Structures are given as C-alpha cells and as structure tokens.
Amino acid sequence: NAGVMQNPRHLVRRRGQEARLRCSPMKGHSHVYWYRQLPEEGLKFMVYLQKENIIDESGMPKERFSAEFPKEGPSILRIQQVVRGDSAAYFCASSKQGAGYTFGSGTRLTVV
Amino acid sequence: GENVEQHPSTLSVQEGDSAVIKCTYSDSASNYFPWYKQELGKRPQLIIDIRSNVGEKKDQRIAVTLNKTAKHFSLHITETQPEDSAVYFCAASTGNDMRFGAGTRLTVKP
C-alpha cells in the first residue's frame, strides 16, 4: 500500500500563474481532505471531498481556489492567479468513514 | 462548525520529565479525537487516538484522556526523550471532516 501520494512535492509558480496540486488517496479510501499549513502554523482545513462530490468547502477561499475528486484519477486542488500569500505547504489526507486519517507528504508551493 | 483550542503553544521540558498538552472542542457531536506528531518538514503522523466511548487510552509512554462532559481531552507523554521534540496537533471529528488545534511545539532538552 503506497499510502497517500501527493505530487509534486515542490512547486514554484510566478504570480498570476495557476497551480495544480494532486492527491491520490490510499487504496480503499474514498474520503479526501485538503489542508493548508503556513510556516510555523497549524493545519487549516480547506475542503472535504468524496468521489465526485464536495462535502464541505467551508475552509476554502471563495475565489481562485477550487477542488475536485473525479470518479477516476486523483483529487486536484487548483489555485488560479496565484499570489505570494498562497505560498504554503498543502497537505492532503484520506480516510475511510471519518477515522484514521493518513496524510500525504505535502506539496510545498512557492510563489515568486 | 467545530472549533478546537489547544494549549500551550510551546512547551519545553527536561529529558525524562512528563509533558501534557490540552485541547478543548466545541461540537458535542464530535466522537473521534486523534493526536498527530509533525517533525520539521514532514507530514503529520497519527500517534494515538481515542473515541468518545472511552475515557482513557494508553500506548507505552503516551496516553490520552477524554472528558466528554467538559469537552476536553489531553495528551500525556511520560519519560520524554529528545526524539519526542516535534509539533503535536490535536483534532476532533464528528465522523465526517476533522478540525485541528493550532499545535504545540514540544522541545525536550537533553
């Protein structure tokens, strides 16, 4: 079991570009969660998805950010027109129903 | 939604001493309370968890207690070692999404 796979590990984008972060959950897990972590800070909830459905996106900014978890393929967190304040580590976690979250290694986004 | 408060934000102890981290939660429907350890530059890793039908759980040097009435839970690490130094996060879940505390940076001095 390869665990939760996130890629890329590091992503550098210029201001105004788009960032796409990918997350493949553990085998058998149908729940995916995205969190943002600023340096020296905690894990801030962004969005919770199940296959083809967004269950809770209350932590995600209304503009420029979107997430999907299609029937086939990984979950994608998409940030359009990135700004310097988007620089952070983005962690994905997966679980079966509501327990045993396993985190991926994260994607470290740097906006220059 | 759920709100999780965690204290202290930093904690420094001498090797061999005990460390206690406390969390409170707001949603009485929360029924699952995991603790994660995050070392610098790495992913958070589950170290212990407790469900609402249990008041205490222990795994070697780590224990967690839960008081559902007061809506608080605590992590206890005994006989601390330098490798316990990390950031620790508590979390609470209703069975769907999960909310985390702000984290406690634990430093164990040799």
CA distance B38 to chain A (A): 10
CA distance A55 to chain B (A): 9
Q: pLDDT tens per residue, chain B (110 residues)?
A: 789 999 999 999 999 999 999 999 999 999 999 999 999 889 999 999 999 888 999 999 999 999 999 999 999 999 999 999 999 999 998 877 788 999 999 999 99
Are the C-beta atoms of residues A29 and A80 closer than 8 Å to each other? Answer: no
Backbone dihedral region for residue B29 (phi beyond 0: left; psi -120 to 50: alpha; all else: beta): alpha
The residues facing A33 across adjacent strands are A48, A93
Identity of the residue numbered B32: Y
Inter-chain CB pairs, A–B, below 8 Å: 55
> Within an 8 Å CB–CB cutoff, is residue B40 touching chain A?
no
> Is A45 close to B100, i.e. CB distance below 8 A?
yes
Q: State how far the Cα of A46 lies from the Cα of B68, in Å rounded to an integer.
A: 27
Residue A35: count other Cβ atoms within 10 Å of its Cβ: 23
